[in-house]
Amino acid sequence: MPQLTVSVERFPIRGSFTIARGSKTEAIVVTAEIRDGDAIGRGECVPYARYGESVEGVAAAIDAMRAAITHGLDRESLQRLMPAGAARNAIDCALWDFEAKRSGRRAFETAGVPAPSSVLTAYTISLDTPEAMASAAARSGHDLLKLKLGAAGDAARLAAIRAAAPHTRLIVDANEGWSAGDLAANLDACARAGVELVEQPLPAEHDALLAEIEHPVAICADESVHGLDTLPHLVGRYDAINVKLDKTGGLTEGLALAKAAREKGIDIMVGCMVATSRAMAPALLLAGLARFVDLDGPLLLAHDREPGLRYVGSRVLPPEPELWG
């Protein structure tokens, strides 16, 4: 019979990771492992305080599913038993991996999506002074940069970065850090800098304003989108959504959300929390549906898991079965 275990691990971040809400120096991840004989499936999640999650609470929620896993819980039943969020993500991805390991059939085949291929991923530049961010952009060596903004002086940051990296593609993540008062000016600064996409400029509770203004740059929901039930509220406000498995509660709902959004003419960005390759690998199954891929979490760590994903320049390669799926 399948047995479920849960573990908590800490991975130091290279330097620090800073967004509008604060900084951190380590990634704390929670892993669900499902084992039956030689078949072992694993899924990793990152509890996020912004959504009312804690490491202890998520680990306890996963552990509470131990009996259900032993009695043969499947992914469909899991969607009904647990809400969207990090805990369900870990179990859902572990179930996908477990099924692949036990059957010998790759997860992408079961999901009915094309085999993952090498894809361009964004690389994140943390929020800092204009000079520091411009220097980081110039030396990054990546083709697509994701700029963490959301503080006073963002127009100066954008101008400095564009001057330092004139040919690099740029997307911006304001992490709910702008307001009705500075939104138009910041979007104009993004347009002048050639930014291709702006994530979550306003706090989620204020995003109705986005339906009333021009979008000189495409605007992407992040904190405003979680599972399928949140999608109807975004139509007419956002041009794209950031599908993160820790928000959707796993690959199962992530796939359904991405497909439903595309049917409504909404572009897809596949994103991540700062985590290891084990968390990135399932999200790569969504890359074929996405306009933008932002799966650089392992590149921000001092060290990744072994084996991990391979990153070659600005591209991330599909996972080997030993890692996931």
Element of type H or E holding 59: helix 55-63
Beta bridge partners of 124: 146
Assign 274 to helix, strand or coil: coil
Which residue among 101, 146, 148, 247 is the active-site one? 148
Residues with Cβ within 8 Å of residue 269, at least 6 apart in sequence: 197, 199, 220, 240, 241, 242, 243, 290, 291, 292, 293, 294
Query: Catalytic: 148?
Result: yes
Say how many C-beta atoms besides its own lie within 10 A of residue 215's C-beta. Answer: 14
What six digits make up the tokens of 9? 């691990």
Q: How far apart are CA 137 and CA 129, in angstroms?
A: 12
Q: How far apart are CA 58 and CA 81, in angstroms?
A: 15
Query: Catalytic: 146?
Result: no
Among candidates 221, 3, 204, which has minimal Cα distance to 98?
Answer: 3
Which residue among 244, 247, 259, 264 is the active-site one? 244
What is the CB-side half-sphere exposure of residue 75 using CA atoms within 13 A? 22
Residues with active-site annotation: 148, 244
